[in-house]
Amino acid sequence: MKHTTNYINTFIEIAEDCPVSRAETPPEKKIKTLALLQYEQIAKNPYQYTSDDVVFECYAIKNDISEHQKKEAEIQFFSKGQPCLRSSPLAKRYGFGIHHNAEGKVAVFPVESKEYQNFLNDPAIKKVKAMRSKKI
């Protein structure tokens, strides 16, 4: 059975304990962090990839999975549940909301943006909070 991280017509709000009030681009480091990999893939390609695409591609990059190994690795990867983008550092730490459109494709929006507020006020879009970084 294939598990999925995809949402449809859903907006992931920043976490209640997100430390920023304005979105920050994840910093460049010698080895790219998960946050930067996700940011680059989503921000540079809005509404081109599903959550599953982003989650697996970042896993493949972090684990040096070659192109010819990807198909089998993806089947193995999704054979068990994986964390969805509610656990993404973009929404937990860096102040980006993540919108999933009707096709399940994703884009990011800074918390201070008009688009972010529009998603919050749109009754047709389901809202979920990003996971907290700290337990209550």
Question: What is the model's pLDDT at position 23?
Answer: 97
3-class secondary structure per residue, 97-116 = EEEECCCCEEEEEECCCHHH
Question: What is the model's pLDDT at position 78?
Answer: 87
Helix 70-77 / helix 51-62 crossing angle, nearest 10 deg? 110
Which tens digit of pLDDT belongs to each residue from 84-114? 999 999 999 999 999 999 999 999 999 999 9
